[in-house]
């Protein structure tokens, strides 16, 4: 493994150690922005605790000498069932920001979802992935200015993104008290690269109330409803993915309104504190969708065992967020690559020890909940 620590002999060997090392590379404001959750951070913590409540029931005497971790999402191949979640302002972690993340994702054969609030442009990030025909989606917020929203969608389509990933759990911004305490603002020279046409974007550099909070209040449309999905699909032929679903009735409506995939997510615990852990919501959503759309899980993934648990409960793939930022802060593209490699290696070992030679062998019989949840075998 290539040394990405740059200044000492310590080499992180798991995602938790990357988080600790990243603190050396990030300002307190940047680290808190990336790591914080809403209010008391109950949901943030519960996203991890949910995985610890699920135990594995491995099969024995299975030939696992040849293992295959590959899959496909919306018809596009992946080397393992993993996508990088949309995360804003990645240049806070490293000057190459989202471009470094895209290059690492493409090289590893995993997907990437680019945030509306990226610090690199739609076109720059697309170019980084095109050489390897990478799976890239564009994450979208619907703005009050429909012309701006349309322009973002048209740019993403023209640049070759494979899907629109609409975040539906942020009609307003959750209250993140660490950001408020730090008076979070982007440092000089950084700005949302895809929103240059919005007047007043210097709000991101003002001290006082969080510039991100001000942006949400001024620009994003809290009146978006299911009907707006029809408008969105009318202006772009890309498949629609809804990110932020936590209820089975919402999952059913998502399918009825044309969503091709659903990301079960609570925004990493950054929106509504006290919301259900993503993993705890997964089983009922998989059952409600009943194969009519692909279901992915976002939130709390830190080990290969976590990925297997999510797949066993019914997810087609998972998204990871914060660990990518820790890798990016420590080593840029190489750091992100190592985060992916660690998860790939751990998933491979987990599958072998669980009696699974391919992803299709992973089913619900492999998991048991210590606190019984609806839809999970016990």
User: Mean pLDDT, to the nearest integer, of 183-205?
Assistant: 78
Residue 213, classed as helix, strand or coil, is helix
Residue 370: CB atoms within 10 Å: 10
Give the residue ranges of the annotated binding site: 33, 86-88, 115, 139, 141, 167, 176, 243, 265, 267, 270, 298-302, 321-322
Task: Classify residue 221 by its DSSP letter.
Answer: -
List, in order of start, the domains of the chain with CATH numbers. 15-369 (3.20.20.70)
Check 9, 94, 130, 267 and give the catalytic one: 267
Give the residue ranges of the annotated binding site for FMN: 86-88, 115, 139, 243, 265, 298-302, 321-322
Q: Is the pLDDT of residue 207 over 70?
A: no
> What pLDDT is stored for residue 290 in this prediction?
98
Q: Is the pLDDT of residue 2 over 50?
A: no
Band (378; pLDDT cuts 50, 70, 90): very low
Q: What is the mean pLDDT of the chain?
A: 93
Report CA-CA distances (Å) from 276 to 42, 45, 106, 193, 374: 10, 11, 32, 33, 13
- pLDDT tens-digit readout, 62-98: 999 999 999 999 999 999 999 999 999 999 999 999 9
User: Mean pLDDT, to the nearest integer, of 342-370?
Assistant: 97
**With pLDDT > 90 as the criterion, what percentage of the chain qualifies?**
85
Q: Are 320 and 87 in contact (CB under 8 A)?
A: no
Q: Is the pLDDT of residue 217 over 80?
A: no
Report CA-CA distances (Å) from 230 to 66, 91, 144, 254, 325: 45, 34, 16, 11, 34
Give the residue ranges of the annotated binding site for glyoxylate: 33, 141, 167, 176, 267, 270
pTM for the whole structure: 0.94
Q: How far apart (Å, rounded) are the C-alpha atoms in residues 364 and 348?
A: 18
Q: How far apart (Å, rounded) are the C-alpha atoms in residues 360 and 367?
A: 15
> What pLDDT is stored for residue 370 in this prediction?
77
- pLDDT tens-digit readout, 17-61: 999 999 999 999 999 999 999 999 999 999 999 999 999 999 999
Q: Examine the residue annotation and report whether 267 is marked as an active-site residue of this protein.
A: yes
> What pLDDT is stored for residue 130 in this prediction?
86
User: Mean pLDDT, to the nearest integer, of 182-206?
Assistant: 78
Band (371; pLDDT cuts 50, 70, 90): low
Band (10; pLDDT cuts 50, 70, 90): confident
Q: Is the pLDDT of residue 198 over 80?
A: no
Residue 260, classed as helix, strand or coil, is coil
> What pLDDT is stored for residue 326 in this prediction?
98
Band (132; pLDDT cuts 50, 70, 90): confident
> What pLDDT is stored for residue 163 in this prediction?
98
Band (9; pLDDT cuts 50, 70, 90): low
Largest CA distance in the chain: 64
- pLDDT tens-digit readout, 273-316: 999 999 999 999 999 999 999 999 999 999 999 999 999 999 99
Q: Is the pLDDT of residue 133 over 70?
A: yes
Band (4; pLDDT cuts 50, 70, 90): low
> What pLDDT is stored for residue 202 in this prediction?
59
Q: How far apart (Å, rounded) are the C-alpha atoms in residues 287 and 252?
A: 10
Among 21-35, 109-123, 175-189, the range scoring the smallest mean pLDDT is: 175-189
> What pLDDT is stored for residue 215 in this prediction?
77
- pLDDT tens-digit readout, 308-345: 999 999 999 999 999 999 999 999 999 999 999 999 99
User: Exposed e or buried b for every residue in 190-202, given b needs 16+ CB within 10 A?
Assistant: bbbbbbeeeeebe
């Amino acid at each position: 493994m290539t040394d990405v620590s740059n200044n000492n002999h310590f080499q992180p060997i798991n995602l938790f150690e990357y988080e600790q090392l990243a603190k050396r590379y990030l300002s307190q404001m940047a680290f808190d922005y990336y790591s914080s959750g809403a209010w008391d951070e109950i949901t943030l913590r519960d996203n991890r605790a949910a995985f610890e409540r699920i135990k594995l029931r491995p099969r024995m005497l299975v030939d696992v000498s040849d293992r295959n971790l590959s899959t496909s999402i919306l018809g596009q191949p992946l080397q393992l069932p993993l996508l990088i979640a949309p995360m804003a302002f990645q240049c806070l972690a490293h000057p190459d920001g989202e471009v470094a993340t895209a290059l690492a994702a493409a090289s590893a054969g995993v997907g990437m979802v680019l945030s509306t609030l990226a610090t690199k442009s739609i076109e720059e990030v697309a170019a980084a992935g095109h050489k390897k025909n990478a799976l890239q989606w564009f994450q979208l917020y619907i703005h009050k200015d429909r012309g701006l929203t349309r322009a973002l969608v048209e740019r993403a389509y023209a640049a070759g993104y494979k899907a629109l990933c609409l975040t539906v759990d942020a009609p307003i911004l959750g209250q993140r008290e660490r950001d408020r305490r730090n008076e979070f603002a982007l440092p000089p020279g950084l700005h949302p690269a895809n929103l240059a046409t919005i007047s007043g974007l210097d709000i991101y550099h003002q001290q006082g109330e969080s510039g991100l909070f001000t942006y949400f209040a001024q620009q994003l449309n809290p009146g978006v409803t299911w009907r707006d999905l029809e408008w969105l699909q009318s202006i772009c032929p890309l498949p629609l993915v809804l990110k932020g679903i936590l209820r089975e009735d919402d999952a059913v409506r998502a399918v009825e309104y044309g969503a091709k995939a659903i990301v079960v997510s609570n925004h990493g615990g950054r929106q509504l504190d006290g919301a259900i852990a993503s993993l705890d919501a997964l089983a009922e959503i998989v059952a409600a969708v009943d194969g009519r759309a692909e279901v992915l899980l976002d939130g709390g993934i830190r080990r290969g065992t976590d990925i297997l648990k999510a797949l066993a409960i019914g997810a087609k793939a998972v998204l990871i967020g914060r660990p990518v930022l820790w890798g990016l802060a420590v080593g840029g593209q190489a750091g992100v690559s190592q985060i992916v490699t660690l998860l790939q290696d751990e998933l491979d070992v987990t599958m072998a020890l669980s009696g699974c030679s391919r992803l299709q062998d992973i089913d619900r019989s492999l998991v048991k909940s210590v606190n019984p949840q609806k839809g999970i075998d016990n």
